[in-house]
Structure 1
Amino acid sequence: MGSQGSGGVPLVQAPYTVLLLPLGTSRQDPGAQSFFLWLRRMQALEREQDALWQGLELLQHGQAWFEDHLREAQRQQLHLGALGENFLTDLHSEPGRPPLAQIQKVNICLQNLIHEKELSRQQKGVTQPKEEMAQRGCTKGPRGPTRV
């Protein structure tokens, strides 16, 4: 997908190959049970990875969508600012724009997911220095309306 993992290593989606070997023992054999539990855990991890890859792809599409709509909203704000008090002469509606409530709902879902991850890291004692976050582009710069 072209994304970079930790340490600059590219993330690559690699399928699993599972080889089943007959054990020649009963299902009550501890070795067979252990193997079965291991195999079940591997399958669960594979499903989790599939869901994470799908989520990453959706986030990439979502980021492009947000950037496009942000640019359009800024363009409209600049246009409206240029009209000044004559804005009433240019009251064409913008069909197809998502309601603000839907955008805020998506933002809350993403924020909750990120907050959950941060709590998990804090519980494990893992913290990320601010310098490292800044290098990755995670800084929170000034956001808000475009000044006209």
Structure 2
Amino acid sequence: MFMAYPQFTDAGSYTVVLIPLRSSLYSLDALHFYLWIKRLKDLEREKDCLWAGLQFLEQANLWYRQRLEVNRARQTNTGTRVGTRTEEREGKLWAGEEAFSCLVKSRIQKVNGSLGSLINDYNVTRCNTSSEQDGSNSSDSALWWQNKLLVKEVCEKNLQISLLELERDRLLQELSVHLGVECSKHPG
């Protein structure tokens, strides 16, 4: 039997430990030992994933803070130009910046949603496990989970709608420039 232990010097390597069994490989003790080792290995892998995720979250935290500072600076800069028309705002640079901002917002929302789902999935799994152990009815958690999936689907559809509206507005702007007329953003 073997078990893997992470080396402290190299993050991805493991040490193999051979443990001789006194009984047959097909005995109940051997099976229990094997399952125990397998569970330890699974927990070790889960811990490695959690550490990697934590490292990524620390990097994401730094990125979010930098974006917040950039956003604050842009708000301050925009606030000083209220009432004035700039070439940047009327040109393609403004439209490109707006499209990039929309893309970044949608990706941030996707990441936030994924993290929220991860946390909620973990909490639902823990609730379901404790409900099954208590013998209580898990219909509330099943309904909660179904609602969570529907909310996620609605959010994805809203994102698609937002992207389509942005594309429509861009096309209307191109058309108005091409025809030399002003087109309404919201036909109807």
Q: Common fold, TM-score beyond 0.5?
A: yes
| 1:113 corresponds to which of 114, 118, 127 | 118
Q: CA–CA distance in 2 between the matches of 1:48 and 1:29? A: 29
Q: Which TM-score applies when normalising by structure 2?
A: 0.50
Matches within 5 A, 1:60-79: 60-79=58-77
Q: Which residue, out of 97, 105, 115, partners 1:100? A: 105
Q: What is the aligned-residue identity percentage?
A: 32
Q: CA deviation at 1:96?
A: 7.2
Unpaired stretches in structure 1, ≥5 consecutive residues: 1-12, 126-148
Secondary structure at 2:18's aligned position in 1? coil
**CA apart distance, 1:122:** 5.5
- Please list, as runs of the form range in 1=range in 2, the aligned pairs for 1:30-49 lying within 5 A after superposition: 30-49=28-47
Cα 1:20/1:122, change in 2 over 3 Å: same
Higher relative contact order (CA 8 A, sep 6+): 1
Q: Separation in 2 of the partners of 1:34 and 1:118?
A: 29
Moved more, 19-28 or 63-72: 19-28
RMSD: 3.0
The equivalent residue for 1:52 is 50
- Judging by fraction of residues, say which structure has more helix: 2
5 Å-filtered alignment, 1:82-97, equals 82-91=80-89, 92-93=93-94, 94=97
- Note if contact 1:26-1:32 (Cα within 8 Å) is conserved in structure 2: yes
**How many equivalent pairs are there?**
113
Contact kept, 8 Å, 1:27 with 1:33, in 2: the verdict is yes
Distance 2:71 2:86 in 1: 18
When the two structures are superposed, what TM-score results if normalisation uses the length of structure 1? 0.62
Give the AA of the match of 2:26. Q
CA distance in 2 between counterparts of 1:109 and 1:68 reads: 21
Q: Which runs of 5+ in 2 are unaligned?
A: 1-5, 9-13, 132-188
Does structure 2 retain, via aligned residues, the 8 Å contact 1:25–1:32?
yes
Distance 1:116 1:87 in 2: 48
Cα deviation 1:44-82 (Å, max 9, x = unaligned): 110000000000000000010011001101110111011
1:112 is paired with a residue whose SS is: helix
CA contact (8 A) 1:80 1:87 kept: no
2:140 maps to what in 1?
A: none
The answer for the alignment partner of 2:148 in structure 1 is none
Structure with more of its chain in strand, by fraction: 2
What is the CA-CA distance between 1:17 and the residue it aligns to? 6.6
Residue type of the partner of 2:37?
L
